[in-house]
Amino acid sequence: MEAGVISRGGGSGIPKRSPRARLADPAFRWALTAMALGLVALIVYFFILLIVKAEPTLSHVGVLSFAFSNNWDFGGEIFKAWPLLVGTLVTSALALLIGVPIAIATALFISELCPRRMRIPLTVLVDLTAAVPSVVFGLWGFFFLAPKLQGTAQWIADRLSFIPIIGGGHAAGPSYFVAGLVLAIMILPIVSAISREVIATVPLDHKEAALALGATRWEMIRMAVLPYSRAGIAGASMLGLGRAIGEAIAVSYVIGGNATLIHHIVEQGDSLAATIARSFNEANANQRGALIACGLLLFVLTLVVNFVARYFVARSTRALRAPPAAEPVASGAV
């Protein structure tokens, strides 16, 4: 029988960690910090590398002339990318015009109108559309959508021939119009998913107040839901725009590959990303330089669009954060 008295004096009865064990915490923290900051460094390096490699082309052609002069002759090595830039902007604008209203309507229907038990199946189905790979959309657009739409496109073009660019021309299978439509289909689920999240942050009080005052469901949507979530929906659309601008594979199938400045929307054209996807592998050094410069232009364009988008989304979701949604990772499409 030992006395077994362990000295309780000396201040701390709590066993101290060994020096080695105490090192584990800072080491863990520094490892995580290294990865987070490494990520930032990588993106900065990425940007610099793109600029350096695009520099020969840009200084040869001139930055402004590269972006805003109209003469793209890939084989003849004349690189003035205005027709491609316009192609990118036209198809993306079309995608927004067609896709965003439907996306918002879908988001409103799913979160405000549809029966509760249909909500999850509908959400899953819309999100599945976002999961279809772009190459499959390209394949489908080229073999199914473009031929099917040729007649309709020609009919519309004839009716609207008094409007420049939008009307007139000879409908080709692949065209700006078909590319815009495919892009609309591709961005719809993304815009819809983010809009749904934004709509979920509308306080229940606002909606109940509107209904209590005798508003119909639609009036409640128009007067309580939409004003509150307007900025967020604008941001969601901008994120969709960013996606549309950068989409290469699907567009390269359905836009035709004719790099002249747009005459009519139903005719063949080209876009920045589609050109890169189509010609990069067979290009010589000069052509590659030009395509890298196109990539840089694309990068800057999406950077600006996303910057504006994040600002809108952040402003509308930060203001009055609702309690966490029931399904935590419903935002997978983002």
Partner 1 sequence: MSARSLTLTSARRRRTDVVARWVLAVATVLALVPLVLVVYYVVNKGASAWNTQFFTKDPTGNSTGFGDEGGLKSAILGTIEIVAIASAIAIPIGIAVALWLTEYHRGGWLGNVVRYFIDVMTGVPAIVFGIFVYLLLVIGQPPASAYAGWKGAIALALLMLPIVARSAEVVLLLVPESLREAALALGAPRWKVIMRIVLPAALPGLLTGSLLAIARAAGETAPLLFTIAVTSGTTFDPGQRMNSLPTQIFNNLNSSSDPGLISRAWGGALVLLAMIFVLNIFARLVSRRSPAIR
Q: Are 275 and 297 in contact (CB under 8 A)?
A: no
Q: Are 171 and 266 in contact (CB under 8 A)?
A: yes
Q: Examine residue 155 and tell whether it contacts partner 1 (CB under 8 A).
A: no
User: DSSP string of 148-201?
Assistant: HHHHHHHHHHHHTTTSTBTS-S---SS-HHHHHHHHHHHHHHHHHHHHHHHHHT
Q: Examine residue 33 and tell whether it contacts partner 1 (CB under 8 A).
A: yes
Partners of 264 in the β-ladder: 165
| Helix (H), strand (E) at residue 73 | strand 70-73
Q: Are 302 and 242 in contact (CB under 8 A)?
A: yes
Q: How far apart are CA 305 and CA 310, in angstroms?
A: 9
Q: Which residues in the 37-56 window bind partner 1 by CB under 8 A?
A: 37, 39-40, 43, 46, 49-50, 53
Which window, 63-71, 165-173, 261-269, 275-283, contacts partner 1 (CB under 8 A)?
275-283
Toward partner 1, which CB reaches closer, 148 or 263?
A: 148
Partners of 269 in the β-ladder: 256
Among 64, 78, 97, 128, binds partner 1 (CB under 8 A): 128
**Half-sphere CA count of 93, side-chain side, radius 13 A:** 9
Among 3, 21, 204, 212, binds partner 1 (CB under 8 A): 21
Among 228, 276, 312, 316, binds partner 1 (CB under 8 A): 276
Among 64, 73, 133, 208, binds partner 1 (CB under 8 A): 133
Among 196, 273, 290, 317, binds partner 1 (CB under 8 A): 273
Q: Which residues in the 292-311 window bind partner 1 by CB under 8 A?
A: 292, 295, 298-299, 302-303, 305-306, 310
Q: Which residues in the 95-124 window bind partner 1 by CB under 8 A?
A: 101-103, 105-106, 108-110, 113-114, 122, 124
Q: Which residues in the 156-215 window bind partner 1 by CB under 8 A?
A: 185, 188-189, 192, 214
User: DSSP string of 218-271?
Assistant: HHHIIIIIHHHHHHHHHHHHHHHHHHHHH--HHHHHHSB---S--SBTTS-B--
Toward partner 1, which CB reaches closer, 228 or 253?
A: 253
Q: Examine residue 127 and tell whether it contacts partner 1 (CB under 8 A).
A: yes
Among 66, 79, 253, 312, binds partner 1 (CB under 8 A): 253
Among 171, 198, 225, 248, binds partner 1 (CB under 8 A): 248
Q: One-letter amino acid identity for 124? A: V
Partners of 79 in the β-ladder: 72
Among 169, 174, 242, 269, binds partner 1 (CB under 8 A): 242
| Helix (H), strand (E) at residue 34 | helix 19-61
Distance of CA 80 to the CA centre of its chain: 26
Which window, 63-71, 136-144, 199-207, 262-270, contacts partner 1 (CB under 8 A)?
136-144
